[in-house]
Amino acid sequence: MDHFNYRDGQLWAESVPVAELARQHGTPCYIYSRATIERHYRAFTEAVGNHPHLICYAVKANSNLAILNLLARLGSGFDIVSGGELARVLEAGGDPAKVVFSGVGKTSAEIRAALEAGIYCFNVESEPELARINRVAGEMGRTAPISIRVNPDVDAGTHPYISTGLKENKFGIPMTEAERVYQVAVSLPHLEVKGVDCHIGSQLTTLPPFIDALDRLLALVDRLSAQGITLTHLDVGGGLGVSYDEEKPPLPAEYAAALRAKIGDRPQTLILEPGRAIMANAGILVTEVEFLKHGEEKHFAIVDAAMNDLLRPSLYGAWQQIVPVIRRSGPERHYDVVGPVCETGDFLGKERALTLEPGDFLAVRSAGAYGFTMASNYNSRPRAAEVLVDGENAYLVRARERVEQLWQGERLLP
């Protein structure tokens, strides 16, 4: 459930009409709802209940400082994958002691920055990375907290580009290698082995792959314990899907309850890394119809948002609902909703039944996760404004980029 609803024929973000925000801030424009973000975050924590746990919000889903700050205020930790994301978390007032650092290519500089900040744990994805973290920690006279990201080889049943837990994927250490790598880790002097980690993919809409992966993690925890390696946390990653269309993914509460039931009274702290489930339906992308073009075979609604603003439809063929901000009556046509970028793959949605006039505003729903964070400046398009609504108030949390900013840092030859 989110807080973008129709009242009197027009779309509201909490208690603010979306059309008013579009006029005030211009389009394309991302609009987020604070109440929705907080509701989704709490759904996770409440379901895990009194089992020791830490929610590490996946920063890559939406890294706007205002959003990170809201989550930090709720007590959230953060899952980061770069030095840039670490810097954002710190800038937003996040607690470094609640940060886990994932990703297959951590540089020495990023490892150093994370150790200096005092993060909770590195999720290590390979043996060379283990050696690198040990070396950097040694140089700094520190001990680095680590967990091993294992690849449980379960099929998440999601889009191949966002499936990460199969043998053929680049992520993690194969389960068959895991015990040996843990033995290497405990032998390295500047590492402290804390936990185990996995992440099998994103936009999962059923529970069984999560449960399969957890079963395999728990079996590993038991084998390691028999070898004298005691783990203090269990990080099951993110990946819970949302409803973009007709999908009926488990609710965060159902998901967390299922994990908790499996874990029983084991002492390990449960770490979750949700991104999409918190942010996707907490945001919309608002765009204005520039032209309607009626071709022989197709009707096109040419709008002012494009693949550079929201890449998911172009990159994954992702389907996101597109709705009018102010409903109008009249016959519907089936439109391909396309942007101004010079690529055939530049579309936000295809064959959408809409009643439109030029100048109308449209909202692409479920755009709060992997929307702005995947935006680019392709075709020299400044990135969109971002607005965060809180009840009757709306705050500009990122100004629209100005064209001069696009070539900041570029230099002419002498």
Annotated binding site: 239, 273-276, 312, 316, 343, 370
Q: Which stretch binds ligand LLP (CB under 6 A): 11-19, 105-113, 238-246, 283-291?
A: 238-246
- Out of 276, 365, 381, 383, the only residue in the binding site for ligand LLP (CB under 6 A) is 276
Contact between 273 and ligand LLP by CB under 6 A: the answer reads yes
Q: Does 313 bind ligand LLP (CB under 6 A)?
A: no
Q: Determine if 233 is a binding residue for ligand LLP (CB under 6 A).
A: no
3-state helix, strand and coil shares in percent for the chain, rounded to the nearest 5: 35, 25, 40
N-term to C-term CA, the chain: 57
DSSP string over 9-51: TEEEETTEEHHHHHHHH-SSEEEEEHHHHHHHHHHHHHHHTTS
Spatial distance between the Cα atoms of 138 and 108, rounded to a whole number of angstroms: 12
Going by C-alpha positions, the residue among 103, 61, 102, 95 that lies closest to residue 79 is 102
Q: Which tokens go with 286? A: 């608002």
- Of 233 and 312, the one with the shorter C-beta distance to ligand LLP is 312
Q: Is 40 in the site for ligand LLP (CB under 6 A)?
A: no
Q: Which of 145, 172, 274, 324 binds ligand LLP (CB under 6 A)?
A: 274
Task: Give the annotated binding-site residues for substrate.
Answer: 276, 312, 316, 343, 370
C-beta of 398: minimal distance to ligand LLP in Å?
19
> Is residue 147 close enough to count as binding ligand LLP by CB under 6 A?
no
329 exposure class (CB count in 10 Å sphere: 0-12, 13-18, 19+): exposed
Tell whether residue 102 is a contact of ligand LLP (CB under 6 A): yes
**Is 79 a residue that touches ligand LLP (CB under 6 A)?**
yes
Q: Which is nearer to ligand LLP, 239 or 339 (CB)?
A: 239
Task: Figure out which of the listed residues 35, 65, 162, 181 binds ligand LLP, where binding follows CB under 6 A.
Answer: 162
Nearest to 325 by CA among 12, 1, 8, 3: 12
Beta strands 191-197; 144-151: pairing state: parallel
Is 129 a binder of ligand LLP (CB under 6 A)? Answer: no
**Residue 312 sits in the site that holds ligand LLP (CB under 6 A):** yes
Range 184-213, binding ligand LLP (CB under 6 A): 199, 202-203
Beta bridge partners of 199: none
Stretch that binds ligand LLP, among 233-241, 263-271, 289-297, 390-398 (CB under 6 A): 233-241
- How many residues bind ligand LLP (CB under 6 A)? The answer is 20
Length of the chain, in residues: 414
Instruction: Give the active site residues.
Output: 342
- The reply on whether position 61 binds ligand LLP by CB under 6 A is yes
CB 371 within 8 A of CB 378: no
Interface residue with ligand LLP among 152, 172, 209, 238 (CB under 6 A) is 238
Query: Residue 172, interface with ligand LLP (CB under 6 A)?
Result: no
- The yes or no reply on residue 275 touching ligand LLP (CB under 6 A) is yes
Q: Which of 5, 4, 12, 32 is nearest to 279 (CA)?
A: 32
Instruction: Give 180's contacts (C-beta < 8 A, 6+ positions apart).
Output: none
Q: How far is the CB of 61 from ligand LLP (least distance, A)?
A: 5
Q: How many CB atoms lie within 10 A of CB 351?
A: 10
Note whether 239 binds ligand LLP by CB under 6 A: yes
Nearest to 87 by CA among 119, 61, 126: 119
> Where along the sequence are the contacts to ligand LLP (CB under 6 A)?
58, 61, 79, 102, 162, 199, 202-203, 237-240, 273-277, 312, 316, 370
